[in-house]
Amino acid sequence: MTEIRNLEHVPFDIIYTAWEDAFSGYERTRTAAELHQMLQRRGFNPRLSFAVFDGDEMLSFTLNGTGHWQGRPTVYDTGTGTIKKARGRGYPAKLFNTTLPFLKKAGIQQYLLEVLQHNETAVRIYRDIGFRVTREFDYTYCDVACLHVSAHQLAAAYRLADLDLQFDRDGFHDFEPSWQNSTEAMNRVPGQFFKLGVYQGDTLVAYGIIDPDSGDIPQIAVHRDHRRQGIGSAVLYRLLAENPSSHVQVINSDACDPVFASFLAAAGFPRKGKQFEMMLDISDVPPASGK
């Protein structure tokens, strides 16, 4: 007999076993260590994450992260999946309907997620539930050997130095980083990243951040007043030098930002696909009763 319960006391190995089965057919898979780090970075909250169980076996799950987005308490769907043998039983919808009242009771105001655009079934389900598209994202990954990023000598006025994540980002970004790439996400695992700044005197003019374990670049930016001087390429070259992985990825760059898209294309990144960022306001959902 199946039941739905939260993941507060569920061992990580059970979660990983279900994850591995549910996403085994995807282009990119994760080791247990990579999944653990990903969940931590995205604010995984087991008390507000739910799964369908048959005994101790997890059949379908929604792993939720919690935090703030645009100033409002938010849940982020960091992974929803169903193991192969349990598909076609409507479990994701049952999980979603079970989850919402508990989120409302916990003070959550909105539900944020990303979904691959070519996953038309999932996109349709989310639209039917009431999610609206807020942005379109590009994502890219490739072998480092496929890139053509060469060393670039910075002008004498600039210097490279370590970066403190607490700085004013005004003038750097033409789009707001996604949930998983946000400063809040990186602050959850600050030791995970190599962080590099470019300074003119004491003024930060460019920066880049990479996760050396995965080759993921969550943020790289040059202040608008200092672009087209090769600074971005110099930062990217330095980030790649700190990347022992054979591959590199840039996930969730805004599809409406031609400047950043051109920067990636010039470095040799191929666009692999597109995602929708989608949002649901849950302020009208009745809260769960009981404990």
Distance CA 132, CA 253 (A): 19
The verdict on 151 and 97 lying in the same domain is no
State whether 144 and 264 are in the same domain.
yes
Cα separation, 69 vs 42, in Å, equals 12
Q: Which residue type occupies 231?
A: I
pLDDT tens-digit series, residues 80-137? 999 999 999 999 989 999 999 999 999 999 999 999 999 898 899 899 889 999 999 9
pTM: 0.90
pLDDT (tens digit per residue) in 32-57: 999 999 999 999 999 999 999 999 99
Tell whether the torsion through CA atoms of 255, 236, 144 and 267 is positive or negative: positive
In terms of domains, do 160 and 263 share one?
yes
Number of domains in the chain: 2
pLDDT value of residue 218? 96
What is the secondary structure of 115-138 as a DSSP string? EETT-HHHHHHHHHHT-EEEEEEE
Q: Answer whether 162's CB lies under 8 Å from 198's CB.
A: no
Q: Is the dihedral of CA 79, 84, 86, 87 positive or negative?
A: positive
Average pLDDT, the chain: 92
User: What residues are paired with 58 via a beta bridge?
Assistant: 53
Is 287 contained in some domain?
no
Residue 236 located in a structural domain: yes
**Confidence band of 210 (pLDDT split at 50, 70, 90):** very high
What is the 8-class DSSP label of residue 214? Answer: T
Rounded mean pLDDT, 208-237: 94
Q: Which residues contact 241 (CB under 8 A, 6 or more apart)?
A: none
Helix intervals (H) in 42-110: 91-105
pLDDT of res. 111: 97
Q: Are both 61 and 16 inside the same structural domain?
A: yes
CATH number at residue 72: 3.40.630.30
Residue 203, domain extent: 140-273
Identify the pLDDT of residue 28: 64
